Structure 1
């Protein structure tokens, strides 16, 4: 067991502000594309939570479960998301988005299978599939940033609703 104090991690926004801003712009563009394609915000939040669960990103799980709850998501659905296949709580569109998210997140396990892509393409149009792929890609990148820099969960609070 290592009893030494944890080492301080780099503050990416401070050290590489241009790259951090570009990441923020990528996120904003992905959110905008999803809105333009009319992908339900609830689905996007489920995508973000599920990818973060798979990656073990405590910071992003904390953030996106709070955002989902603030937007009206139920405790039951948030808590059951890790076992979405075994529950009746999710719609066909949500299930297709979650399967696609898992395949994108776990791409090292054998790519994105044709069956998973086809399931998504049955319930989402091309612009929506593209938006979901971008949403999964962006949250996966944010998960890696938060994990690599050891961002501490717990302090995030959703913006108040207007």
Structure 2
């Protein structure tokens, strides 16, 4: 597929606004590795090749195992994820898909058991932000493969 718009080049004004969200999330009490795991899972759901490439590379650079990355799509059946990660993954899927147009009480109670209210707000912001990036990259057919770990890191 041919890239429609070079979002990283032509979308600098829009990206600047989105980078501000990344700057906020970089200061979140939620572990960076967990945020990247959420970004990777949401990108799997949405089928965003650019973001899958990016977050898999960032996760591996942070020490994530290949096994956990390969099995993330089946995290419910795999024994490699903590209860906190499982709660975050279930919440990320619920917020991304919005099946029935809501997040179930069961999922919200599970995430509330592992995250503070501030962290749930940050988690929700992280999920909605990666969903936005996925939509831009899919709409513009941003080409995957050239990302270098940490390339868009907030300093």
Compute the TM-score of the two structures, normalised by the length of structure 2: 0.90
- Give how far 1:26 is off: 1.8
The alignment covers a number of residue pairs equal to 151
Q: Confirm or deny that 1:66 pairs with 2:61.
A: no
Distance 1:44 1:86, change over 3 A: same
- Give how far 1:114 is off: 1.2
Compute the TM-score of the two structures, normalised by the length of structure 1: 0.86
Q: Give the equivalent residue in structure 2 for 1:3.
A: none
Bigger shift: residues 21-30 or 116-125: 21-30
Query: Is the CA contact (8 Å cut-off) linking 1:31 and 1:135 kept in structure 2?
Result: no
Unpaired segments of 5 or more residues in structure 2? none
Higher RCO by CA contacts (8 Å cutoff, separation 6 or greater): 2
- Give how far 1:135 is off: 0.8
Distance 1:87 1:14, change over 3 A: closer
Counterpart Cα distance in 1 of 2:37 and 2:10: 31
Distance 1:14 1:73, change over 3 A: closer
Rg comparison, structure with higher value: 1
Q: Give the equivalent residue in structure 1 for 2:147.
A: 156
Distance 1:53 1:120, change over 3 A: same
Q: Give the equivalent residue in structure 2 for 1:143.
A: 134
Query: Is the CA contact (8 Å cut-off) linking 2:6 and 2:142 kept in structure 1?
Result: no
- Give how far 1:41 is off: 1.6
Distance 1:159 1:16, change over 3 A: closer
Query: Is the CA contact (8 Å cut-off) linking 2:30 and 2:119 kept in structure 1?
Result: yes
Q: Confirm or deny that 1:107 pairs with 2:102.
A: no
Distance 1:72 1:108, change over 3 A: same
1:71-150 maps to which residues of 2 (within 5 A)? 71-150=62-141
Unpaired segments of 5 or more residues in structure 1? 1-5
Bigger shift: residues 89-98 or 110-119: 110-119
Q: Confirm or deny that 1:31 pairs with 2:26.
A: yes
Q: Find the residue that maps to 1:153 and give its secondary structure.
A: coil
